[in-house]
């Protein structure tokens, strides 16, 4: 499915990964020291703090390589990581990485804390030998340099990286119809690199798609909110409540919007004022609703979605973030199916976006990766055999002039069916231009004559291909480095009525993705409906802890 150049892309992704510095917490308490504290409890309480510090680069304190053999024998659950641990220490010549002058470095504390709090990462599995790790950390102050704790921390790092950064196996993602390329990170080299970084200027970027950390922050917020609020549903009378109205339900709405961060004013009075209208527009926009500022049935339905359902959405989309490539240093396109949007990027910069129409529930758009290779101006539409059989032939039987009216023609016969195509022109179902990225799903981007559909809030209308609201803008973007293709020439080619294909010398990656929760460029949390029912199965695997990692 993936083109040969994907290997080159993956190498580039690896090269472009920023070094990650584990945010660290202190293993010693501040103050006068009269009160004894359990270091395990202290770490669990302050695990999310970030304290930049130097990693251990000492080389004098070393241990015998045979210690690793006996360690794996004593803790067989770490056997899958034997090669990674061994490679890491071979490069270090078996010097201690987590100790400096017999004392645990700060980064060890942060790793310990995150391993102890995997649910904060959206992971419902426990790291092996958690009690042993607790005990070793607790005794570390008394015993100094400890090879068992040293190896335990390194082993736990690889466990953590697999669970929190790599996610469930590719077998799981493919079973969920996710055919985007999975990222590849050499975690043993990554660990070796972060331990060599010194100074406060070191970046704090984890080897996981940037949305992951943003969603993780909201996961914490929604869990806290869920623990404090019953989130009881409320109703309105038929129709909607408008600015200027008064209603007993308005204080409930204001209070809920306040808790969600959309409203920042008085929540007690029952007046529908302009502040509430503005808050409702904000809420509607980030839930994919028509943002008219009215308290209507659709808006109330979204306000009443249980917090536990939102938490599941966050967990599911954090897992999907683990699967994605980290970054690209080039132009690329992303279509987010539940959002009904096309996003155009250069590296990590969002350049522009536009609405799209995606496949109906019965004709789902596939989640996969491709590379745009051809732009076809004034295209023919080669009608798929399934549409010929189910739609064209019945219409031909009802109306003798159906083909002529639809600007279609029969060019031959195959497997007992006529081969039908629609001629170029403004009535063509593909519009005036299409964008091809060869794939086995017969999916591509294209223009459409049905412009009114782009104004709908839910835009699942196609047979699987993706209709673009701004095809001229996309064609101009893709051809910006081709001097022969001016905007005037592009416009002329779209209206010529004669099919013309342009081959791109530099293919442009396109990711057809599926995210029902994401953070937009304004750092605002968005939710969208799970239009293809992809979320529930993955949520069940996460919450049960039975997903294959």
d(CA 407, CA 401): 10
Kind plus residue range of the DSSP H or E element containing 250: helix 250-260
Cα(410)–Cα(422) distance, rounded to whole angstroms? 9
* Residue 222, C-beta contacts closer than 8 angstroms, at least 6 positions apart: 307, 310, 311, 314
Length of the chain: 549
- Is 446 an annotated catalytic residue? yes
Short-list 294, 303, 290, CA closest to 234: 303
354 is catalytic: no
In the chain, how many H helices and how many E strands? 21, 19
| Residue the block writes with tokens 């502040």 | 275
101: left (phi over 0), alpha (psi -120 to 50) or beta: left
Tell me the CA distances in angstroms from 249 to 242, 246, 264, 296, 303, one per residue in order.
12, 9, 18, 12, 12
Active-site pick, 282, 321, 343, 465: 465
Name the β-bridge partners of 264: none
- Report the C-alpha gap between 120 and 164 in whole angstroms: 10
Q: Which of 282, 287, 343, 446 is catalytic?
A: 446
d(CA 262, CA 256): 9
Using CA atoms, how far apart are residues 364 and 237, in angstroms rounded to an integer? Answer: 35
- What gap in Å lies between CA 438 and CA 436, rounded to an integer? 6
- For the record, the structure tokens of 516 come out as 């029902």
- The pair of structure tokens assigned to 437 is 């990225």
- CA–CA separation, 256 and 195 (whole Å): 45
Instruction: Please tell me what DSSP assigns to residue 463.
Output: S
Beta-strand relationship, 517-519 and 99-100? unpaired
- Active site amino acids: 446, 465
């Amino acid at each position: 499915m993936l083109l040969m150049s994907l290997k080159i892309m993956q190498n580039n992704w690896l090269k472009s990964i920023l070094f990650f510095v584990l945010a660290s917490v202190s293993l010693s308490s501040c103050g006068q020291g009269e009160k004894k504290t359990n270091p395990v409890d202290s770490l669990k309480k302050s695990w999310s703090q970030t304290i930049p510090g130097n990693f251990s680069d000492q080389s004098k304190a070393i241990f015998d390589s045979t210690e690793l053999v006996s360690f794996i024998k004593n803790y067989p659950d770490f056997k899958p990581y034997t090669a990674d641990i061994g490679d890491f220490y071979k490069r270090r010549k078996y010097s201690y990485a987590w100790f400096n002058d017999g004392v645990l470095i700060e980064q060890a504390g942060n790793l310990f804390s995150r391993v102890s709090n995997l649910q904060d990462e959206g992971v419902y599995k426990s790291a092996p030998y958690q009690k042993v790790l607790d005990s070793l950390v607790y005794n570390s102050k008394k015993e100094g340099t400890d090879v068992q704790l040293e190896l335990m921390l390194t082993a736990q790092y690889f466990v953590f990286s697999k669970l929190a950064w790599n996610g469930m196996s590719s077998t799981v993602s493919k079973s969920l119809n996710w055919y985007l390329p999975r990222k590849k990170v050499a975690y043993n080299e990554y660990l070796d690199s972060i331990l060599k970084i010194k100074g406060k200027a070191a970046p704090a970027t984890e080897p996981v798609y940037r949305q992951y950390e943003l969603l993780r922050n909201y996961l914490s917020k929604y869990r806290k909110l869920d623990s404090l609020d019953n989130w009881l549903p409320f109703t309105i009378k038929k129709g909607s409540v408008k600015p200027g109205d008064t209603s007993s339900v308005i204080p409930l709405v204001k209070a809920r919007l306040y808790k969600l961060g959309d409203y920042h004013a008085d929540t007690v009075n029952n007046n529908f004022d302009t502040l509430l209208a503005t808050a409702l527009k904000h809420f509607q926009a980030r839930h994919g609703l028509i943002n008219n500022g009215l308290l209507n049935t659709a808006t109330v339905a979204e306000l009443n979605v249980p917090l536990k359902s939102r938490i599941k959405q966050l967990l599911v989309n954090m897992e999907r973030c683990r699967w994605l490539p980290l970054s690209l240093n080039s132009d690329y396109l992303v279509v987010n199916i539940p959002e009904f949007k096309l996003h155009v990027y250069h590296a990590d910069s969002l350049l522009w976006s536009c609405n799209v129409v995606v496949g109906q529930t019965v004709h789902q758009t596939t989640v996969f990766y491709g590379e745009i290779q051809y732009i076809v101006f004034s295209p023919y539409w080669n009608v798929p055999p399934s549409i010929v059989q189910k739609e064209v032939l019945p219409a031909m039987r009802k109306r003798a002039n159906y083909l002529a009216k639809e600007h279609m023609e029969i060019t031959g016969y195959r497997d007992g069916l006529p081969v039908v195509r629609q001629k170029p022109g403004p009535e063509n179902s593909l519009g005036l231009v299409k964008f091809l990225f060869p794939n086995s799903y017969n999916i591509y981007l294209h223009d459409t004559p049905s412009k009114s559909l782009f104004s709908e809030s839910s835009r699942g209308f196609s047979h699987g291909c993706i209709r673009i609201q701004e095809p001229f803008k996309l064609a101009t973007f893709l051809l910006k480095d081709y001097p022969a293709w001016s905007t005037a020439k592009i416009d002329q080619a779209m209206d010529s009525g004669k099919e013309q294909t342009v081959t791109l010398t530099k293919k442009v990656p396109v990711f057809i993705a599926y995210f029902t929760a994401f953070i937009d460029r304004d750092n605002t949390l968005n939710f969208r409906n799970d239009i293809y029912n992809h979320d529930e199965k993955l949520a069940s695997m996460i919450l049960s802890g039975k997903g294959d990692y």
